[in-house]
Amino acid sequence: MTRWLKALLCTFATTHIAVASGSSPKIVVVQAQSESSVLQSQMFEEEIVPQCYADNSHVDAFINDMVSRHNFDSRALHALFNQAVYSKTAAKLVLGAKTPILKSWQAYQARLIDAVRINTGVRFWQQNKAVLQKASKQFGVPPEVIVSIIGVETLYGQYMGHFRVLDALTTLTFDYPDTSNRTQRMSRFRKELEDFLVWTRSAGIKPTTVLGSYTGAIGIPQFLPSSIVEYAIDYEGDDHIDLRNSFADAIGSVANYLKQHGWESDRPIVWRVHMDTGSIGIAKAALDKKAESRWALQQLLHAGMLLDERTVDIASEAETPVSVVELLTSGQPAQYILGLKNFHVLTRYNHSFFYAAAVYELSERIKTEMRALSEMTAQPAIYPVR
């Protein structure tokens, strides 16, 4: 196929994301996840266009940059990108829903805080008790928070993504859909693609074998390549970081990530706001769009807000910075919480307030179940009782 014809086919495919299936050149392929993953043998259909990135001027410029700054072999990278395909599926998914979906905290809760995640989380904690205790002591992050994040991200390693990361990142780097923030997003994914290639070379991993999410998140904790390079650690002690197969490495890396982003040991994540009319009115007036704290607790309390908490020492916590977070469900009264520094840290893992609140609530449910089991078996828990 000539260079101009390949370019024409790729351009046609990338500019017709919203067109009905069958209107643009495509190949539907079936991929299976690695054999080592427990539930990854499920088959997965992905719509792709091959050979979009061979003889591509933008890819050529990227390769030249990688050769110059990271001493990559030019011929090897050209050969690699000749194998990369345009993932129409990833390009569709990154756009999200075509029609706006009303936010529902209740629905989000139901999806992520269920019996399966709680019970599996308890088993995960029991099976990895020693390494969780080690990570908690070293990084100051409670075991239940580490367990909860891994549960929310991949159901404890059961669902780590089916996309070939090389294809997903290449697609989103060079052919991000036409949106208002396209340039910014392409720049972000270019950095992820760069870090992906640096990481796989350093780790001796063949790039075409790595599977992950449609945005390139990898492994048990769903780290993007930039986070792998920056925060992933060997916690198994085998001089090898393996977030795809090692629970120890995943646990240590999650704890390290949170600590490096400012996690405060032995501090709360949220305080609940009382549901009385006055407190709700104050919460609505003081709502924050960002997780960074901008209120001192005493400011809100002096305005008349009440907390639905029995153990907060108001005098010592008066100057504690908090943010007001609304958990909205259409057609029902909203819930309000005050997010402390550790809530903000959770939003560095995922920017959604719903995500951070779900991680917190799931962690509390798992901790409660672990405590009940500990009392039943008369075995001491490995977490501090707060």
SS3 at position 10: helix
Tally of CA atoms within 13 A in the half-sphere of 101 that contains its CB? 8
Q: What is the mean pLDDT of the chain?
A: 89
Question: 128: which residues sit within 8 A by CB, 6+ positions away?
Answer: 247, 248, 251
Residue 174, amino acid: F
Q: Record the tokens describing residue 195, joined without a space.
A: 């870090």
The reported pLDDT for the residue numbered 199 is 97
Q: Record the tokens describing residue 19, joined without a space.
A: 């067109």
Query: Active-site positions?
Result: 153
| Mean pLDDT value across residues 93-100 | 81
SS3 at position 214: coil
Q: Do residues 277 and 204 share a domain?
A: no
pLDDT of 320 higher than 80: yes
Question: 38: which residues sit within 8 A by CB, 6+ positions away?
Answer: 157, 158
Q: Do residues 175 and 317 share a domain?
A: no
The reported pLDDT for the residue numbered 293 is 77
Q: Is residue 355 part of a domain?
A: no
Select from 345, 352, 308 the least CA-distant residue to 326: 352
Q: Is residue 351 part of a domain?
A: no
Q: Is residue 80 part of a domain?
A: yes
Cα end-to-end distance, the chain, whole Å: 66
| Mean pLDDT value across residues 79-104 | 90
Structurally, the chain folds into a number of domains equal to 2
Q: Cβ distance 121 to 151 under 8 Å?
A: yes
Q: Do residues 41 and 176 share a domain?
A: yes
Q: Do residues 90 and 168 share a domain?
A: yes
Q: Is residue 64 part of a domain?
A: yes
Select from 265, 81, 44, 260 the least CA-distant residue to 167: 81
Select from 226, 222, 201, 203 the least CA-distant residue to 211: 222
Q: Do residues 168 and 304 share a domain?
A: no
Q: Do residues 93 and 199 share a domain?
A: yes
- Point out the domain boundary residue: 214, 243, 259: 214
Q: Is residue 13 part of a domain?
A: yes
Domain range for 29: 3-98+161-214
Q: Is residue 280 part of a domain?
A: yes
Q: Is residue 193 part of a domain?
A: yes
How many other C-beta atoms can be found within 10 angstroms of the C-beta atom of residue 31? 14
Q: Give 375's pLDDT tier (boundaries 50, 70, 90).
A: confident
SS3 at position 272: strand
pLDDT of 9 higher than 80: no
Q: Do residues 205 and 299 share a domain?
A: no
Q: Do residues 187 and 87 share a domain?
A: yes
Q: Do residues 205 and 282 share a domain?
A: no
CATH of the domain at 61: 1.10.8.350
The reported pLDDT for the residue numbered 101 is 74
Select from 266, 269, 275, 274 the least CA-distant residue to 293: 269
- Point out the domain boundary residue: 214, 229, 255: 214
Phi, psi of 66 (to 5 degrees): -65, -35
**C-alpha–C-alpha distance, residues 3 and 11, integer Å:** 12
Q: Do residues 202 and 71 share a domain?
A: yes
- Point out the domain boundary residue: 306, 324, 339: 339
pLDDT of 302 higher than 90: yes
Q: Record the tokens describing residue 49, joined without a space.
A: 């266009």
